[in-house]
Amino acid sequence: MTTLAEEVARTFGSPAVMIDLDQVERNIARLQAACDAAGLANRPHIKTHKSPVLARLQQEAGARGLTCQTLGEAEVMAEAGLSDILISYNLVGPEKLERLARLLRRMPLTVSADHPAVVEGLGEAAAAAERPLDVVVECDTGRARAGVATPAEAVALARMIAGTPALRFAGLLLYPPEDGVQATQGFLDAVQAGLAGEGLQARIVSTGGTPNLKHLGAIRGATEHRAGTFIFNDRMMMACGAATLADCALDVVATVVSRATPERGVLDAGSKTLTADPGGGLDGYGLIREVPQARIHKLAEEHGFLDLAACPDALPVGAVVRVVPNHVCVVVNMVDRLVTTRGGRIIGEIPVAARGLTG
């Protein structure tokens, strides 16, 4: 009997990245239901799938708008007819601002900013586009990523935005740490109070992250949530308790190509497929569904090195396996297409239309 993985390898070559559309739809529905139950708009982050086809499935299930991490992603989504786009990233530099102005001429947009220099550029782009640009202030409530570091800075930046012709202060963008509900609430309350004192109001208060789905509804004043990874899930989401193995909808199909000794083997998926993403300290680079005790302990570019000490008789040369990767978002970005399946059968392919568009 031929397995689905063998069928995929046979048809599309190995390695390949495949998704189970039934599970994708279940994940989309669950995220939507969770947002609905919490009274939050669902604004899924498309950096995970980079596909207008999947963004449309999310919209049809009830999502309100979508989130992009790069301008290139937003351009691809706009080109495909999607709208209500939030770009959760500082857009900086003349090339970006010209492209932003071009896109803004076509449709309303919301972008985030965390610095006066960024706001200044956005103001120029919006003026050039002759359409007001909605700007949310990114706030850092503990992750030490981007985002203003204090409520006072957030209020000052909101005031600057509100005072910039062509810009509209639209609200706040947060990516709370998983254990940071309380700190986030404190930061947010302080900003809201400061805004009120300025006569400003945050129409959008956007929280983010699949790991934060467990806190959905816990942050008072939030209006929407941005989750990306949940559409597919991965080992990282399993590790943080956001998903089980059954919730994982994306697998890397790979083939055992070498078995030098009973304890060692090589998969044809290396760092150019699985990526070197350590998944925040996971053991190895992927979970082999068929033989979970086999460890992908190291990668070369086209080699996934297998430690088979626990299962020396498994996985002969030619065995085709399904690997749940550490981090789906970076894996999807390695391939130009996702093989789609339903009920154990191949359906077709979806282009990863925004692959590689990091700017």
Q: Which residues bind a second copy (CB under 8 A)?
A: 9-16, 47, 69-70, 72, 89-96, 99, 114-115, 117-118, 140, 144-149, 255-261, 264, 266, 268-273, 275-278, 300-303, 305, 316-318, 320, 329-330, 333-336, 356, 358-359
Nearer to a second copy, 160 or 269 (CB): 269
Nearer to a second copy, 171 or 228 (CB): 228
Peptide bond into 132 cis (omega under 30): no
- The CA-based angle 8-19-337, given to 5 degrees, is 75
The token duo for 170 is 């639209």
Nearer to a second copy, 27 or 255 (CB): 255
Nearer to a second copy, 41 or 285 (CB): 285
Instruction: List, as one string, the DSSP characters of 17-41.
Output: EEEEHHHHHHHHHHHHHHHHHHT-E
Q: Where are the alpha helices (DSSP H) in the chain?
A: 4-12, 21-38, 52-60, 71-79, 94-106, 116-129, 151-162, 181-197, 235-239, 328-332
Nearer to a second copy, 179 or 301 (CB): 301
Tell me the C-alpha distance between 284 and 154, whole Å. Answer: 40
CB of 115 to a second copy, least distance (A): 5
CB atoms closer than 10 angstroms to residue 279: 20
Tell me the C-alpha distance between 43 and 45, whole Å. Answer: 7
Tell me the C-alpha distance between 190 and 181, whole Å. Answer: 14
Nearer to a second copy, 89 or 187 (CB): 89
